[in-house]
Structure 1
């Protein structure tokens, strides 16, 4: 005989009870007792499952953090490190040339200046990968409004409208970044692939922060953009926060991207 284990409306397992002797039937009192016991077991099983899920979530967060550190270390070690070392050698070489060939030294310093500006650009790229500077400079809503305006300005055939509340509650940094990245990637896909005339970026606040991008273009677009953040990345950004991101056909054509992000980061 078995009893389903249900806790909080969710099925968490089954309690199997064996007979003490073959052919022995349980009395109604015994069945009622086991039914009560199954509810207590369901609580315990649910607690174990939640603990496992929490431990797995923590493991994934640690893995993601370490992967980000590894990527950052690689960018610094393989990119900026050699470039800065080359600049130091170039400065030494220019110093050695200064007394014997000032013209060559000046030309070398000019080249070193351009290399230095390249390093500055690399630092900015790394910083932007970590967190879009527009979020700190403007805030989420103004940053998205500015991005939508830039898209409309670059392509006169596409009109992007922003529908959002006047202000948003304070959001965790991870939720802000995910909302911005998902919205800008979806808008970029619309501009590059959808051949749409109009697009609406909407933000709604309830239990979750909902980001919705809809267009009147040719239909579902799954092409990954040149920037490297495509459909899979949008889904991953939402999922790692405990939310979800869906790409659906529009009711009257086009594509709808909907992301539900928790108001509190895990």
Structure 2
């Protein structure tokens, strides 16, 4: 009488079956399992995590936060542990001896979906490590070219200039002039390559100052671009996150300046444990919410997603807001 329908296992199983039938895709199964534990069984909290090569990742939670001692139910698929279901109880929860067997059944129901999600999480973690390694390699190449090859070419060009000043025969002087021109083109190409690998201001000045320099360059008499000082100092960021944040900001601000007819554009960075949020707001005309996004807007979402983040674009007649949330705790690219 006290626990009501929660004391009847078949009612909980039936409710779970309905939830799973209504789940739009396998990714929502963990959430439905957690909700069933809390709402149908009456436990205070539940969460489901999956074990990936990059470490455990939490997929879903419901009810009160699960902390401290509680029950843990391994999720096994073909004999291998792929994740875990953790539950917490309070004074109104059903007794552990009443529903432990049922919770084990729920864990078994979740295991196949968790196995598929584990593969997806492994793929995502591998992609994040690849992006991080790529950005680190780009910065290494930039340093090698900028600090090694660039100065060497500049020194050769200088010596050729000195040789020209020595008054050599006209035939030799013509060859020297041509060599100087070719070296000048090579130096310009080196600068172009290093700028394409990683923005120089980003490497030299960091994310905040590089964004302020970008804002100054894009500010005109018609539009003012401002960068708000963050409430708390930005932490040291992985190169991939720093580059993604800068590229997303540059794309969003450029779109606002060129296409939105905005008078003001504001950039804000917000750091919290494990994540960096980039927000770019303008007071322009906006665009049709049903319109197909252009290359610039699509690239914003792609840059966020490739390191495990997400981006949203909200628009209205009074302006557009681009928000990107990027994880700052990426895995080791060398694992």
Per-residue deviation, 1:34:
6.4
Residues 238 and 245, structure 1, Cα contact 8 Å, conserved in 2:
yes
2:299 is matched with 233
Q: Which segments of 5 or more consecutive residues in structure 2 lack a partner in the other structure?
A: 1-12, 18-28, 35-46, 49-59, 62-98, 139-167
Q: Is 1:108 matched with 2:175?
A: yes
Tell me whether 1:159 sits opposite 2:224 in the alignment.
yes
The 5 A counterparts of 1:83-98 are none
Name structure 1 gaps, 5 residues minimum.
12-31, 72-100, 225-229
Q: Tell me if the contact between 1:217 and 1:254 (Cα under 8 Å) persists in the aligned partners.
A: yes
Among candidates 55, 58, 66, match of residue 122 of structure 2: 55
Length-normalised TM-score, structure 2? 0.54
Q: Distance in 1 between matches of 2:203 and 2:130?
A: 26
Where does residue 265 of structure 2 map in the other structure?
A: 199
Q: Provide the rounded CA distance (Å) in 2 between the counterparts of 1:112 and 1:246.
A: 51
Distance 1:204 1:34, change over 3 A: same
Which digits, 9 at most, give the CA deviation of each residue in 1:124-171, with x for residues without a partner?
A: 22222222221221111111111111111xx21111111131621111
Distance 1:44 1:50 in 2: 10
Shift of 1:66: 10
Identify which of 123, 126, 148 aligns with 2:215. 148
Over 3 Å counting, the alpha-carbon distance change for 1:38 and 1:125 in structure 2 is: farther
Match among 125, 129, 137 for residue 196 of structure 2: 129
Residues 164 and 204 in structure 1, CA contact (< 8 A), matched pair in contact too: no
Aligned to 1:178: 244
What displacement does 1:35 show?
2.8
Over aligned residue pairs, what C-alpha RMSD do you find? 3.5
**1:175 Cα deviation (Å)?**
0.7
TM-score of the superposition, structure 1-length normalised? 0.66
